[in-house]
Amino acid sequence: MIAEENADTKVQFKQHLWGCLSNIESCFCAWCFPCISVGHIADEVGENFLLCCVFQLVLPYGPIIFLRERVRQLKNIEGSFAEDVLAGVYCTCCAISQCHAELDIHIMR
């Protein structure tokens, strides 16, 4: 489980949304196995792995929008729900990769 950062200081994501190719591992996993990738993010932020995997199959944009917002809250990252929706809908793989980078998730290790 991730401890919440200091609530006074807002920070940026470690990886820019379009920087997904800088982390080929998470980019590959987000593209080929989005359900598992989203499940790992969910598990890292204290949500149900399997439930998020299933929802990712049924509603491809819903879980990553919810989880990206959750990551922003936990890590005290600047942004808005509207940005989470846009990132989740228009660049799902990049949003997944960005969350992986922020949470330091390595699926293939």
Per-residue pLDDT reduced to its tens digit, 58-108: 998 999 999 999 999 999 999 999 999 999 999 999 999 999 888 887 665
Residue 47 has pLDDT above 70, yes or no: yes
Give dist(CA 32, CA 103) in Å, integer.
20
pLDDT band at 15 (very low <50, low <70, confident <90, very high): confident
DSSP, res 30: H
* Local structure of 31: helix, strand or coil: helix
Distance CA 48, CA 41 (A): 10
Q: Is the pLDDT of residue 2 over 60?
A: no
Q: Which token pair is 87?
A: 């990132």
So what's the pLDDT on residue 35? 92
What separation in angstroms does the CA of 39 have from each of 29, 53, 77, 79, 96?
12, 5, 21, 22, 10
Report pLDDT for 82.
96
User: What residues are paired with 104 via a beta bridge?
Assistant: none
Write out pLDDT tens, residues 36-46. Answer: 999 999 999 99
More confident residue, 108 or 13: 13
Contact (CB, 8 A) for 107 and 36 = yes
Q: What pLDDT is stored for residue 95 in this prediction?
A: 93
Q: Yes or no: say if 103 and 47 are a contact pair by the CB < 8 Å rule.
A: no
**pLDDT for residue 104:** 83
